[in-house]
Amino acid sequence: MTRYINGLVFNSETRSFNKQSFQVQGQYFEPATHSPETELDLDGYYITPGFIDSCSQIGLAEIGIRWEGDDSYEFDSHLQYSVVDGIYPFDTAFQKAVSHGVTASHIVPSPKSLIGAKTAIIHHTHTTVDEMVISKDVAYSFSIGHQAKSTFFAEKKKPLTRMGIAKILRETLQQIQQQEPSITKIVIRAHKAVDLEFISRLQQEFGSIFDFHIIHGTEITFLHETSFNTVIAGPTFRYIEHNEMMALSPKLYHQLYKHSIPFVFCTDHPVSSTSHLTLEGCLAVREGMARQDVLYALTTGAANFLGIAHLTGAIRVGLLADFVIWDKHPLNLDAQVVATYIKGTKVYAREEGFTQ
Amino acid sequence: MIIYHHAKFLTVNEQNDTCEQLWIEDGRIVYIGPAKEFPPQAELVDLQGAYVTPGLIDIHAHVGTWAEVTEDINDANEYSEPFTPLMHALDSVDIRHFSFQHALEGGVTTVQTGPGSANVIGGIWSILKTAGPTLSSRVLVERSGLKGALGENPKNVFGNQYKRKPMTRMAIAQLLRDGFQRASQLNEQQQTEQIKENAELRPFIEVLRGDMPLRLHCHRADDIMTAIRIAKEFNVKLHLEHCTEGYLIVDAVKESGFHATLGPYMLTPSKYETRHSTPAIAAVFKEHNIPFAIMTDHPFVPIQYLKYCATEAIRYGLDEDTALKSITINAAKLVQLDHRIGSLEEGKDADFVVWSHPIFETEAKVLQTYVNGQKYYEAE
């Protein structure tokens, strides 16, 4: 057992940093019952739960390489497709993630295909995907609007309309209901207000079976409606890829926050980089969101949304010891990760041998 | 005359002074310094305790010429040929393009823009202010460099996709040398004619004469060295664009005496030649005293996030002072415009940004952006 003392620890209940100690035994945070084998003095450091990226293609679309490492998109769809079968544990992006305090990601396939795949949540460590998986078949993913239309046109040389997208999506939802009855969460990539309205209609039609969640939500502020399931917002630090994203701006976070629409952060790595998840939070702070609420959304909020709050997302006895030590407040733009732990094991240290 | 006061003015001059008053007349700074008595007819503007920096400068971007990252709305790469020395930024820039508005929103008041990196020889770059009623009113330098590219981009576009030369780095180097060889074989009179007629070899002659630098896109270490080798062969001034693996061969880059614009390291490495990209390069170059600026490469990192490219370098060990200079005065020096822009000093253009907090704080928002003394952006 190791006891970590004197650090400023983020408390997910009060959403504040308090000077306190915590213990890790094996993979878990443990109560302070026994005397620890080692003690680590974290005086002057900030400690947060590991950050969770709520939409990422890490491992699925390898960085530093083109098609050879890209398993984020398939031509034809199949309900059995699962991101678990496409994740490469040696993608160097995983090292990048942990060096920026991001310990887990919800893996969602590329926006290119209308019908995506079953999603999964993974830890950013280990050498086999089976060890990495925290939870699989978490949701089924879709992508509507420009991306779906242009991919369809590139392949079939004929246009696909929003009417066509709606038909395919409804049919697929019925198939999911029959073939994958355990999946009740549907995540849909969409930018334009018209597509977000369509998702609201789906929620009314299929609300007894599925919960629909918007990914991106660029034009959500154009809508009068303010009642949404948790939105996977952004990323806003990214290039404007097509016309539907012209309204993209960190002001998105201000609007969601102001209207109390629940949301979580993402990078959609490699669209933005997994290393910029904190930057999304910083941009939300710039737009007026309280630092403590940003930190909550990056940790416990994301874990709640993804249904893994009983496993990780907070520094609490009984949970997996996924935590990060920072040299200053993690939402300072120049904050550095000193060390990152996943399931109690140190997976990154800024300086070799950071133990004292 | 307009006098801005009640703010912390960060001059970014040699002494890095913090001043209390900024006097502007006819678009220029006439006084910056401690509070002093001012003429009664002057108009006073209270900046309510805000923080003021010089307008930010990005000397490698495609503002005004490249919209969304899709190729169908791209006026930056003339794909018809791999060798297009007559392409000129000013023939492609649209001053109504939204990227100028985004630049102002991010506090960027000057950009160097122009052809992309698909071609071995892409064309001529220009340096522009990001606001002003006409294109000509925005131009600071009409011909600021001959842009070329080494490595994967020409290989991919021409070799891989179009199945034509160049497929290899050998052919890229040969095409690059070709322009300089032909230009240097001309006599004085033939060269003058080429320039007068705006003929194909004009840009090479201008580079050979030192009127503008050669600007080469190079990511991989071998491409950086090829760029340096060719520049030395023809004794021309080279500016290294990207220089991504430069930290792996930092002594060789230092020895070359050439300077670099670093980035876009905020972009996830999307191809092989950028796989070693890291924001740590800025601190390494600083440590070795290699002059550099930091880029967005808009649209890849949108121009409004130039500041965040500098802060990421701080996260990776660069000092704040150098980080700010790399997007202001040092960028200006690298394009020989430090007599006009890059710091708040008397006689310089009144390009400045009003921030809600000190520039590198998380909470810092751009409240107002001024170009030539005129307010072109104000936050809602």
Assign A225 a pLDDT band (cuts: 50, 70, 90): confident
Give residue-wise pLDDT tens across range A87-146. 999 999 999 999 999 999 999 999 999 999 999 999 999 999 999 999 999 999 999 999
When scoring B268, B270, B360 by the number of chain A Cβ atoms within 10 A, the one with the most, hence best to mutate, is B268
**What is the domain class of B56-341 according to CATH?**
alpha beta
Q: Are strands A115-123 and A46-49 parallel, antiparallel or unpaired?
A: unpaired
User: Which chain A residue has its CA at the smallest distance from B356's CA?
Assistant: A286
User: Which chain B residue has its CA at the smallest distance from A282's CA?
Assistant: B362
Q: Which of B268, B275, B320 sits opposite A273 (nearest CB)?
A: B268
Q: Which of B274, B276, B302 sits opposite A239 (nearest CB)?
A: B302
Give residue-wise pLDDT tens across range B301-358. 999 999 999 999 999 999 999 999 999 999 999 999 999 999 999 999 999 999 999 9
- AA letter at B58: D
Of the candidates A135, A147, A122, which has an alpha carbon nearest to the alpha carbon of residue A53?
A: A122
pLDDT at site A354: 54
Which chain A residues are Cβ-neighbours of B270 within 8 angstroms? Answer: 63, 66, 270
In our burial notation (b when 16+ CB lie closer than 10 A, e otherwise), range B278-302 reads: bbbbbbbbbeeebebbbbbbbbbbb
Assign B71 a pLDDT band (cuts: 50, 70, 90): low
Q: Are strands A345-349 and B2-10 parallel, antiparallel or unpaired?
A: unpaired
Asked if A237 and B365 come within 8 Å (Cβ–Cβ), the reply is: no
pLDDT (average), residues A35-62 = 95
What stretch(es) of chain B map to CATH 2.30.40.10?
1-54+343-380
> Which residues are registered as beta bridge partners of A337?
A326
What stretch(es) of chain B map to CATH 3.20.20.140?
56-341
Assign B30 a pLDDT band (cuts: 50, 70, 90): very high
Which chain B residues are Cβ-neighbours of A66 within 8 angstroms? Answer: 270-272
User: Which chain B residue has its CA at the smallest distance from A97's CA?
Assistant: B268
pTM as predicted: 0.96
Q: What is the predicted ipTM?
A: 0.95
Q: Does B157 contact chain A (CB < 8 Å)?
A: no
Assign B67 a pLDDT band (cuts: 50, 70, 90): confident
Q: Does B363 contact chain A (CB < 8 Å)?
A: yes
Which chain B residues are Cβ-neighbours of A65 within 8 angstroms? Answer: 271-272, 275
Asked if A270 and B268 come within 8 Å (Cβ–Cβ), the reply is: yes
pLDDT at site A356: 38
pLDDT at site B353: 98
pLDDT (average), residues A4-9 = 97
Give residue-wise pLDDT tens across range A269-313. 999 999 999 999 999 999 999 999 999 999 999 999 999 999 999
pLDDT (average), residues A197-217 = 97
When scoring A92, A333, A336 by the number of chain B Cβ atoms within 10 A, the one with the most, hence best to mutate, is A333
For the four alpha carbons of B9, B307, B352 and B107, in that order, the dihedral sign comes to negative
Q: Are strands A185-190 and A133-143 parallel, antiparallel or unpaired?
A: parallel
When scoring A240, A283, A295, A298 by the number of chain B Cβ atoms within 10 A, the one with the most, hence best to mutate, is A240
Mean of all residue pLDDT scores within chain A = 95
Token pair 């550099």 is found at B292
CA distance B289 to B362: 29
CA distance A270 to A57: 6
Q: Which of A64, A245, A276 sits opposite B275 (nearest CB)?
A: A64
Q: Are B262 and B294 in contact (CB under 8 A)?
A: yes
pLDDT of A33 over the 70 cut: yes
Q: Are B349 and B337 in contact (CB under 8 A)?
A: no
Asked if A241 and B68 come within 8 Å (Cβ–Cβ), the reply is: yes
Asked if B268 and A242 come within 8 Å (Cβ–Cβ), the reply is: no
Q: How far is CA B94 from CA A83, A213, B67, B137, B274, in A?
A: 42, 38, 10, 13, 29
Residues 250-279 of B with CB under 8 A from A: 266-272, 274-276
Count of CB atoms situated within 10 Å of the CB of A195: 25
Domains detected in chain A: 2-48+313-349 (2.30.40.10), 51-306 (3.20.20.140)
CA distance B58 to B108: 7
Of the candidates B3, B16, B5, which has an alpha carbon nearest to the alpha carbon of residue B328?
A: B16
pLDDT (average), residues B120-139 = 98
CA distance B327 to B310: 7
- AA letter at B224: I
Q: Which of B269, B315, B320 sits opposite A63 (nearest CB)?
A: B269
Q: What architecture is the B1-54+343-380 domain classified under in CATH? A: Roll (2.30)
Q: Which of B267, B362, B365 sits opposite A333 (nearest CB)?
A: B362
Q: How far is CA A61 from CA A116, A274, B300, in A?
A: 14, 12, 18
Q: Are A138 and A120 in contact (CB under 8 A)?
A: yes
Give residue-wise pLDDT tens across range A226-236. 789 999 999 99
User: Which chain B residue has its CA at the smallest distance from A58's CA?
Assistant: B268
Mean of all residue pLDDT scores within chain B = 96
| Alpha carbon of A172: minimum distance to chain B alpha carbons (Å) | 29
Q: Are strands B366-371 and B374-378 parallel, antiparallel or unpaired?
A: antiparallel
